[in-house]
Amino acid sequence: MNRGRFAPTPSGKMHLGNARTALLSWLHMRALGGEFVLRMEDIDTARSRGEWAELALLDLRWLGLDWDEGPDVGGPYAPYTQSERMERYAAALERLQASGHIYPCYCSRADILASASAPHGLSSEGPSYAGTCRHLTAAERAEKARRKDPSLRFALPEGREVRFADGIAGPQVFPPGSGGDFVISRADGLYSYQLSVVVDDADMRITDVLRGSDLLDSTPRQILLYEALDLAPPAFLHVPLLNGPDGKRLAKRHGGIAISAYRERGTAPERLVGWLAYVSGLIDRPEPVKASELVRSFDLSMIPRQPVVVDVPDI
């Protein structure tokens, strides 16, 4: 059976872009007769807040979405909140250490930024790591460990190209070394998104990952982690983002985009769902519609293949 998921990060209020991804992921599973899982990705405990997690559940239900498993309803693969799953990440980290896939890195962010040879990597991480600590001797590591606790990096396989067929973006090819060796556990012990999402999706038997195209360049890293952990990766589907009139990703700077703001001012959820469906190519005009009414006609081929420029809806 197909199993999909939506996994919000409760570091702020859920907005139009989040809601669109949730709606499309939900429709994809419901159209396939599959199961839909809600997972709360609060692994960055410093930025995440419980009240925003609760608000996300309220917003999603207001939009007419439901889930078969999740933090509030439970399920066979609980817990569905990352901050309660630290033992699973620790176990995966031990497996990677035992198989020689990771190494300690003593570089600071300033060291990485100062590396003239470092090409730009994933947009959220800045320059790609140049591999400075990958080939340190045991003595060199011991000397550096006396001055600094290390992060742990995943060593990209030498010469390995990553290819996969994306269900929306089409065939993808990432050359060897794309993004550089990446951190999977910070010096302070915080596990990375890359590790936690792979462990969670595998544990929860997720078969289809539909998410925003801003995560497309994270996918080869996750595929390599699946392989290193002897796990089967899911199918990936990356949806082009919603951009504001300035051509930049829709964000708070474009005005009131929080779902809770629409709900609190009395907007009918069907009006917002209709707008989300319209900008996603599912209907030909922004008219009120219930999420459940979109299931029968849902087709992935209707979703635009390029970012969609929108104005924040005044509804």
> Catalytic site residues?
252
Question: Could you give the C-alpha distances from 129 to 13, 25, 140, 253, in angstroms and in order?
Answer: 32, 33, 19, 31
- Name the H helices within the chain: 16-32, 50-62, 86-98, 109-114, 138-145, 193-203, 219-228, 259-264, 269-279
Count other Cβ atoms within 10 Å, centred on residue 117.
9
Q: Which two tokens stand for residue 239?
A: 């949806």
Q: In this structure, which amino acid lies at residue 274?
A: G
Q: How far apart are CA 23 and CA 256, in angstroms?
A: 19
Q: Which two tokens stand for residue 111?
A: 């060291």
Q: Which two tokens stand for residue 245?
A: 């009139």
Q: Which two tokens stand for residue 210?
A: 């539909």
